[in-house]
Amino acid sequence: MTRSEATASTTGSDRTDEYDVIVIGAGPVGENVAERAHAAGLSAALVESELVGGECSYWACMPSKALLRPVAALADARHVGGSAQAVRGPLDAEAVLARRNSFTSDWEDGSQVEWLDSVGLDLVRGQGRLDGPRRVKVETPDGSTRTLSARHAVAVCTGSRAALPDLPGIEEARPWTSREATASKEVPGRLAVVGGGVVAVEMATAWQALGAEVTVLVRGDRLLARMEPFAGELVSEALTEAGAKIRTGVSVESLRRPSPDRPVTLTLSDGGELEADEVLFATGRRPRTEDLGLETVGCEPGDWLTVDDSCRVKGVQGGWLYAVGDANGRALLTHQGKYQARIAGAAMGARAAGVPLLETDPWGAHAATADHEAVPQVVFTDPEATSVGLTAAEAEQRGLRVRAVDLDMGGVAGAALFADGYRGRARMVVDLDREVLVGVTFVGPGVTELLHSATVAVAGEVPLERLWHAVPSYPTISEVWLRLLEVYRG
Ligand SMILES: Cc1cc2nc3c(=O)[nH]c(=O)nc-3n(C[C@H](O)[C@H](O)[C@H](O)COP(=O)(O)OP(=O)(O)OC[C@H]3O[C@@H](n4cnc5c(N)ncnc54)[C@H](O)[C@@H]3O)c2cc1C
């Protein structure tokens, strides 16, 4: 395929660079959209206002998992007689933080920029804003403005940021968001964590293990409310055993921090107060679409952008605007955003070539269907909590006739070998009309790598009578599959 070239034209003093595709936001998703479009024969430029690699590389997935991996490694050793005796001390916080720093390349993006160069993508540093159909204006760090124009498509891949509640005193309290929670150079003495979702429980797990006294404040009645109820219960039990305090049914009403070097005091909905050295608000995300010029193309600034399954923004004339990854709000996960990126990039290539989508991709891969029914998620707590697809309650809400099959994983030989007194649970949600799985949840030590088998079963709609012939190796935790199917068959 002949690649379209980037071209430049000049009108008066204003220079316009023209590409086939312009991607605003060089996070993991933007990088992949540009790379896929380029692989489909299109020229592409990426616009980035901070670091190439995005939230994921510097303030989310990578640093959080770098903090959590030593926690899991130590827990695994402690759960096994023999190795438990060999590891009696706490984590070496300084070494853990240093290792975390190496995974963020000390918050420098040189290697990612090199990668962009190596695959032939142009980078334009600065804040990008739409300026009418197919045009992007970039305010560059030196204060000048560059105009980019797209022959075929513009993709908004600007991600999301932490949503902070509007509470009295919140600004003066200088709360942590996920950015400070993943990038802090010091372990706080006392850390209050507001929220009960994935970021809250992961960061509570990491900082408790690194030596902070953690208190988690949850408005609802359980942690991890979007997963099967037992996930939150097991994670809550383990966090409590590790020394953290979990308080449910309580919210923060106001904050007080008299000066930056003094502790923060939270006033709570139950009338009590809580003093902490730092407070992390892990209370959801909002799209980074408020300062993006969306109003110039008929879209609402500040909203998640609603897209079709090829990630084209709905209601935009000409179909040239895409929103991929967190910006479209479908599934705020790197792997899901990169999946969408593969689809959107290929769809751009096919549309630019004027070829019907399905003809260029016999896999039918121009539609991000997995977003609807097979999104996998790992919560890197101790125990790990993993799920794919629907919970039993969600399946029922969708009107499916389902059966939830539950298993205490302690009885699985591979699990018992993995950890003494193994504590874990599994659930598969069976669609009784089709006899396929629509959801699977595993909670327990060492289940992270098991999740993909469930994703294959759910996304592949593997009939249970075939799954019965997928024989798990003995003695591994995977035997949970056999036991679940035995319970189902009765
Ligand atoms: C603490 C935490 C842990 C997480 N852990 C995981 C995990 O383990 N696994 C997982 O799958 N997901 C995880 N996530 C979610 C994951 O980080 C996001 O889903 C992912 O980063 C989304 O990628 P993105 O490219 O859409 O957006 P981002 O990674 O947010 O990248 C967007 C980029 O766009 C840039 N940008 C924004 N506006 C403009 C503009 N106007 N002009 C130019 N550039 C702009 C930003 O600077 C940024 O670089 C985690 C999230 C958090 C908060």
Position in ligand 1 atom list of the atom nearest CA 50: 47
**Tell me: the pLDDT tens digits for 347-391?**
999 899 888 776 556 565 678 989 999 999 999 999 999 999 999
Separation between Cα atoms, residue 200 and residue 180, nearest integer Å: 13
Residue 350 backbone dihedrals phi, psi, to 5 degrees? -65, -45
**CB under 6 Å to ligand 1: residues?**
24-30, 47-50, 54-56, 60-61, 64-65, 127-128, 157-160, 178, 182, 199, 288, 292, 325-327, 332-335, 337
Least confident of 227-236, 312-321, 361-370, 431-440: 361-370
**Tell me: the pLDDT tens digits for 357-368?**
765 565 656 789
Please, which residues have CB within 8 angstroms of residue 136's CB and are 6 or more apart in sequence?
Answer: 22, 24, 47, 128, 129, 130, 147, 148, 149, 150, 154, 293
Residue 363: the pLDDT is 60
In the predicted structure, residue 448 carries a pLDDT above the cut 70? yes
Ligand 1 center–CA 49 separation, angstroms: 13
C-alpha closest to that of 121 among 50, 9, 36: 36
Separation between Cα atoms, residue 136 and residue 138, nearest integer Å: 6
In the predicted structure, residue 34 carries a pLDDT above the cut 60? yes
Residue 359: the pLDDT is 57
Position in ligand 1 atom list of the atom nearest CA 162: 53
What percentage of the chain carries pLDDT values higher than 70?
Answer: 96
> Residue 1 — very low, low, confident or very high, per pLDDT cuts 50/70/90?
very low
**Tell me: the pLDDT tens digits for 177-235?**
999 999 999 999 999 999 999 999 999 999 999 999 999 999 999 999 999 999 999 99
Dihedral sign, CA of 378, 280, 278, 180?
positive
Average pLDDT over residues 334-340: 98
> Residue 9 — very low, low, confident or very high, per pLDDT cuts 50/70/90?
low
Residue nearest atom 12 in ligand 1 by C-alpha distance: 333
Residue 367: the pLDDT is 86
Cis peptide before 383 (omega within 30 of 0): yes
Average pLDDT over residues 333-355: 94
**Tell me: the pLDDT tens digits for 241-257?**
999 999 999 999 999 99
Residue 13: the pLDDT is 47
Residue 16: the pLDDT is 74
Please, which residues have CB within 8 angstroms of residue 293's CB and are 6 or more apart in sequence?
Answer: 129, 130, 131, 136, 137
In the predicted structure, residue 267 carries a pLDDT above the cut 50? yes
Separation between Cα atoms, residue 285 and residue 295, nearest integer Å: 22
In the predicted structure, residue 268 carries a pLDDT above the cut 80? yes
Pocket test for ligand 1, best of 297, 334, 387 (most atoms within 8 A of CB): 334
Ligand 1 center–CA 414 separation, angstroms: 36
Average pLDDT, the chain: 95
Residue 352: the pLDDT is 93
Average pLDDT over residues 309-329: 96
Average pLDDT over residues 39-61: 97
Residue 360: the pLDDT is 58
Residue 400: the pLDDT is 98
Residue nearest atom 48 in ligand 1 by C-alpha distance: 54
Ligand 1 center–CA 57 separation, angstroms: 8
**Tell me: the pLDDT tens digits for 129-180?**
999 999 999 999 999 999 999 999 999 999 999 999 999 999 999 999 999 9
Ligand 1 center–CA 165 separation, angstroms: 20
Position in ligand 1 atom list of the atom nearest CA 129: 41
Residue nearest atom 52 in ligand 1 by C-alpha distance: 60
pTM: 0.96
Separation between Cα atoms, residue 199 and residue 218, nearest integer Å: 13
Residue 2: the pLDDT is 46
